[in-house]
């Protein structure tokens, strides 16, 4: 029997639920899920799951432009959410993250099926999703349950990281 962690370490595709599909979380009229950076074999499953948008939660150094090109070639819309650390100190960097939360919420309200991806740890996607939940006024216990419903590996996140993400979501509401 393959465990979720074995799946993630041996297969750089989306996290699949028990039915082979993606574990979507519905928000407004859209849906969101996340997983690892798509590779060549990932595009067919992404398209069959009716993904309309891909958000790359990676930096330029991680070749985000390659994903952009693959999205445009596949007819998908692409968003770039470049951040790599939860110890953001500059207010300008935090302002960008607030803007990304607003943009993601807008595309979900428009009915997008959004696939977030980062690296194999899924930490950045998990934290961005947790911040998004708080930005959209989900209480922490509901946001935590939602996070675990689409990423069973979320236990790897520290309380400090979750607190940072919650604060980011709440601060974006004020900005």
> Is residue 52 in a domain?
yes
pLDDT, tens digit, for every residue of 120-154? 889 999 999 999 999 999 999 999 999 999 998 88
> Is residue 5 in a domain?
no
Domains identified in the chain, total number: 1
Ramachandran quadrant class, 111 (left: phi over 0; alpha: psi -120 to 50; beta: rest): left
Q: E-strand spans in the chain?
A: 25-27, 30-36, 53-56, 77-80, 113-118
Q: Where are the alpha helices (DSSP H) in the chain?
A: 4-10, 43-48, 64-74, 91-109, 123-135, 140-150, 159-174
Give the domain extent around 160.
Answer: 25-174
> Is residue 76 in a domain?
yes
Task: Between 16 and 159, name the one with better pLDDT.
Answer: 159
Task: Between 31 and 11, name the one with better pLDDT.
Answer: 31
CATH number at 125 reads 3.90.190.10
> Is residue 3 in a domain?
no
> Is residue 20 in a domain?
no
pLDDT of residue 145: 95
> Is residue 2 in a domain?
no
pLDDT of residue 88: 59
pLDDT band (50, 70, 90) for residue 14: very low
Rg (CA), the chain: 15
DSSP summary character for residue 60: G
Task: Between 170 and 40, name the one with better pLDDT.
Answer: 170
């Amino acid at each position: 029997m393959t465990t979720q962690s074995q799946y993630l370490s041996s297969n750089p595709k989306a996290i699949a639920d028990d039915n082979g599909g993606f574990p979507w979380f519905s928000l407004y009229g859209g849906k969101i899920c996340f997983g690892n950076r798509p590779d060549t074999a990932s595009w067919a499953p992404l398209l069959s799951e009716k993904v309309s948008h891909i958000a790359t939660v990676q930096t330029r150094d991680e070749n985000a432009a390659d994903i952009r090109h693959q999205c445009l070639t596949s007819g998908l819309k692409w968003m770039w959410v470049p951040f790599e650390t939860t110890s953001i100190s500059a207010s300008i960097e935090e302002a960008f993250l607030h803007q990304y939360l607003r943009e993601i919420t807008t595309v979900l309200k428009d009915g997008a099926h959004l696939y977030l991806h980062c690296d194999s740890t899924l930490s950045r996607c998990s934290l961005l999703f947790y911040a998004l939940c708080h930005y959209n006024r989900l209480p922490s216990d509901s946001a935590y349950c939602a996070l675990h419903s689409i990423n069973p590996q979320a236990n790897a996140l520290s309380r400090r990281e979750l607190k940072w993400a919650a604060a980011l979501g709440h601060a974006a509401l004020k900005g």
